[in-house]
Structure 1
Amino acid sequence: MEFFNSGLRKNITSVHPAYFIIGGFIGIHNVKYYYIFLSLIYILSVLGNTVVMTVIIVDHSLRTPKYIAVFNLAFVDLFGSSALVPKVLDTFLFDHRYISYNNCLSFLFFCFISLAMQSLNLVALSYDRLMAIIYPLHYHVKVTHRFMLFFISFLWLFVITVTLFAVGFLTRLSFCKSVVINSYFCDHGPLYRLACNDVTPNYAIFVFATGLILWTPLVFILASYCRMCYALLKISTSKERLKAFKTCTAHLSLVAIYYLPIIFVYCFGASIHPNTRILSLSLTHVIPPMLNPIIYVLQTQEIKESVKKMLKFRGRTKIATKN
């Protein structure tokens, strides 16, 4: 770290440095195997989310409000993986650790948008399941295509506004010390800790934005499932209760995959080794986009049937072409 800093001190301005150095994954043995692992995860994420998006577009029976949210989640996962993983691989695998000041903020902006939209999209899916279970007879009236499109559009506008404000507020910081970011990307926390002026406003904004786009959605999701469980208890037969609950298993799996690793890092991050924390955080960012499409393909009957139809149609087309 000190070697990086000593080589750049002459070029650092009193306010904004010309560039930063991404200093994550330093001192980790056999880390190149982890980069290969990240490459495989990225390939699976791209393939899986592309399949889900294609199935929803092709199959007209999936043009429902629920699958508008599922399509948006697949798009966000694809967008987030493509914004993060190729840059991380280029940074560490090919040792391109230098990143300009403006590119660093842009990188942070796009990564935060994808992470925030993942959590808020889970809220959209949670609301969809809540209405389906509490108001099964009026579900199609309460959750329409127009409503879901408006809701998803509002979430995008909200996330972009909050992220622009949080990232833009970093420009007030003066970097006159180290320029090495101890993370695997231009992370907000490690970045403002490098500043030599007062970071209290930035910390307050970081805490507020995290609560707004990470913990508030979790509270809403937990509250919605408490309400759903109460509604399920009113169903007379256990068979019907189980059938209704099965429609929520895919969403519950997504929530667990997204939030459990983040909660673990937040609870135990201060007590674990910095390199372990960096590895854990990187996995929390790349694993959900890979697993989300797999979960929806395996646990959602409509998508499974659509995939089977597409495979059968493709098989028949090949046979007809050969004949």
Structure 2
Amino acid sequence: MKNQTSITRVLLMSLSDDQKTIHVLFIFFLLIYLMTVFSNFLIILLVITCSHLHTPMYFFLGNLAFLDMSYSSVTAPSMLSHLITQHWSMSLSECITQVFFVMYFAGSEALLLSSMSYDRYVAICRPLHYSQVMSWGTCAQMASLVWSTAFLVSVLYITCLKRLTFCGPNLIQNFFCDLPHLFQISCTDPTINFLVGIIVGGIICTAALVITFYPYVRIFMAVLRIRTSDGKSKAFSTCTSHLTVVTIYYASITFIYLVPDTSNFLTLNRVVTVIYTLITPLLNPLIYSLRSKDLKAALQRALHIHRLHPDTATRR
């Protein structure tokens, strides 16, 4: 250990060695990132300004849009900078900071999706008590619990990470830093970190999975008891968007963190990582926008008001 030199910078894996491919990737990812920021910001703006969207479902959707925009902003700008400068490295402190925010926003999204599942369960299975159960006080408490729990867990992981010494090789097999990548370049035994991750992460993930998917078992049982096809269709339509987002999220997470990071899966793993970090934050607002009549109506109303009163809209 005494002869090992601690590293101060890490080298990220380049997405391509071909200059033309790099230019194409830069333009493509830049457009994706700009569309992600714009679409998620638009949802947040509509949820805040449109009074008929002031409901628990859209309150959580606004939180999800903020999470998607923030998560994408943790990885996309640095990747775009690396693409344009061809300087695929960052300081170790920058890498650890990126790990913190990646874990924070990813963990927050898992917990937020479970909150949204509970909201859909109450709306369909207990409609007469919905306003009492999902009051604004309850929604605020659930959102606070989501953000604070993810923050505390991320701080715990980073605190444990500080005990490790990193001596290389300093090559990270991805275009951004994540916790497993730092374990791979550590010259300190990361057993304690693994145990903390398994115990704390296991408890949080198990709770999030149960709270996310168990309500849908109850929802499907409730929907099957509905006699009319219109009633069933309406009930399913309120859940389809959220269930689609949940499926994409957990499928990506499962592949990224559970599939062995070997040469056979390295390319596929990086493709899925790009989809999860860049494409999914763009897909989420599109999925909700296409499925939600209220969101589409709010957007049409906002555009209509802007066309009728462009000066007023500009002043506002």
TM-score (norm 2): 0.90
The Cα offsets for residues 33-74 of structure 1, whole Å up to 9 and x where unpaired, read as 333322121011011001101111110111112211111111
The answer to whether structure 1 residue 313 and structure 2 residue 309 are counterparts is no
Distance 2:186 2:304 in 1: 59
Deviation at 1:21, TM superposition (A): 1.9
Query: 2-side partners of 1:34 and 1:218: how far apart?
Result: 34
2:246 maps to which residue? 255
Q: Kindly state the Cα deviation for residue 231 of structure 1 after the two structures are TM-superposed.
A: 1.4
After TM superposition, the structure 1 stretch with the greater mean CA deviation from structure 2, 119-128 or 200-209, is: 200-209
**Stretch deviating more after TM superposition (264-273 or 178-187):** 264-273
- Alignment partner of 1:107 is 2:98: yes
Residue number in structure 1 paired with 2:164: 173
Matched, 1:276 2:268: yes
**Whole-Å separation in 1 of the counterparts to 2:57 and 2:205:** 21
Secondary structure in structure 2 of the residue aligned to 1:275: helix
CA 1:227–1:83: 2 relative to 1, 3 Å: same
Q: Deviations over 1:64-97 (max 9, x none)?
A: 1221111111111111111210011112331232
Partner Cα separation in structure 1 for residue 136 and residue 312 of structure 2 = 38
**Structure 2 CA distance for partners of 1:94 and 1:136, relative to 1, 3 Å:** same
Contact 1:175 1:195 in 2 (8 A): yes
**Where does the alignment leave 5 or more consecutive residues of structure 2 unmatched?**
none
Matches within 5 A, 1:1-323: 14=4, 16-25=6-15, 30-214=21-205, 216-266=207-257, 268-270=259-261, 272-318=264-310
Q: What SS does structure 2 have at the residue aligned with 1:20?
A: strand
Give the partner amino acid of 2:80: L
RMSD: 2.4
User: Are the aligned partners of 1:68 and 1:149 in contact in 2 as well (CA < 8 Å)?
Assistant: no
Contact 2:22 2:83 in 1 (8 A): no
- Tell me the distance in 1 between the aligned counterparts of 2:295 and 2:94: 39
Q: 1:319 deviation in Å?
A: 9.8
* CA distance in structure 1 between the aligned counterparts of 2:268 and 2:15, rounded to whole angstroms: 9
- Name the SS for the 1:247 alignment partner: helix
Structure 1 residues 274 and 232 mapped into 2: Cα distance closer, same or farther (>3 Å)?
Answer: same
State how far apart, in whole Å, the 1-side matches of 2:311 and 2:68 are.
Answer: 35
Mapped to 2, the partners of 1:188 and 1:266 lie a distance apart of: 10
| Aligned-residue offset at 1:282 | 2.3
State the shift of 1:26 in Å: 5.6
- Write the distance in 2 (CA, Å) between the matches of 1:124 and 1:147: 11
> CA–CA distance in 2 between the matches of 1:320 and 1:118?
37
Contact 1:48–1:293 (Cα < 8 Å) also in 2 = yes
TM-score by length of 1: 0.88
Percent identity between matched residues is 29
Gap runs ≥5 in structure 1 = 1-11
| Corresponding letter in the other structure for 2:9 | Y
Measure how far apart 1:229 and its partner are. 0.8
